[in-house]
Amino acid sequence: MMVVMKKIIFTMMVLAVSAGCAQAASEADYLTAFTAAESANKEAGRLRNQWTVTQAALTAAKKAAETGNFDQALKSAQEAEALAKASIAQATSEKQRWKDLEIR
C-alpha cells in the first residue's frame, strides 16, 4: 500500500512539474510574439491607421519582459498583434466602406 501511494505521489509530482514547464513562456516565445506584433503595427502605420491600444499593449509586453515575467509579456505581445491586425483589417475594409456613410 505504501509503495503504491509513493508511486502515485511521485507520478503526480512529475505531472505537476511537466504541466508547469509546458505553460511557462520563454524569452524566445515572447520575442517571437513581440516581433510579429511590431511588424503588424508597422503595417498599420504604413496604412496611417495605428491604434493607441496597440502601442499600450506593446509597452506592457516590454515592461513585463524586463521584469522577467515572460508569461505576461507573451500575453501582451499577442494582444498587441491581434489589435494591430484588427487595425489593418479596419483600414483595408474602410478603403471602400467609407462611401456608405457619405451624404449624397
Partner 1 sequence: MTATRLALTLTVALGLGASAVAAADKPDPVADAKAFQQFFVRKFPKVAFDDFVNGPYSMNEDMRRQWEEKEQFPPYEFALEAGKEMFSKPFKNGKTYADCFPNGGIGIRQTYPYFDDKEGKVVTLELALNRCREANGEQPYSYVKDEMAALTAYMAFTSRGKRFDIKIPDDPRALEAYENGKEYFYTRRGQLNFSCASCHIQSPGERIRAETLAPALGILNAMPIYRSEWSGMGTTSRRFVTCNSQTRAVPLEPQSDEYRNLEYYLSYVSNGLPVSGPGARP
Sites of contact with partner 1 (CB under 8 A): 45, 48-53, 55, 83, 86-87, 90-91, 94, 97-99, 101-104
Rounded to a whole number of angstroms, the minimum distance from the CB of residue 35 to partner 1 is: 20
Nearest to 61 by CA among 53, 52, 72: 72
CB atoms closer than 10 angstroms to residue 70: 21
In the complex, what is the shortest distance from the CB of residue 29 to partner 1, in angstroms, rounded to a whole number? Answer: 26
Q: Cα dist. 85→6, 52, 54, 89, 90 in Å?
A: 51, 13, 10, 6, 9
Evaluate the CA torsion angle 83, 88, 91, 92 in order and state its sign. negative
38 versus 71: smaller Cβ distance to partner 1 = 38
Of the pair 25, 50, the CB lying nearest partner 1 is at 50
In this structure, are residues 25 and 73 in contact, taking their beta carbons and an 8 Å threshold? yes
Nearest approach in angstroms of CB 87 to partner 1 is: 8
CB 96 to partner 1: min, Å: 10
Which one, 18 or 93, has the nearer CB to partner 1? 93
User: 77 or 88: whose CB is closer to partner 1?
Assistant: 88
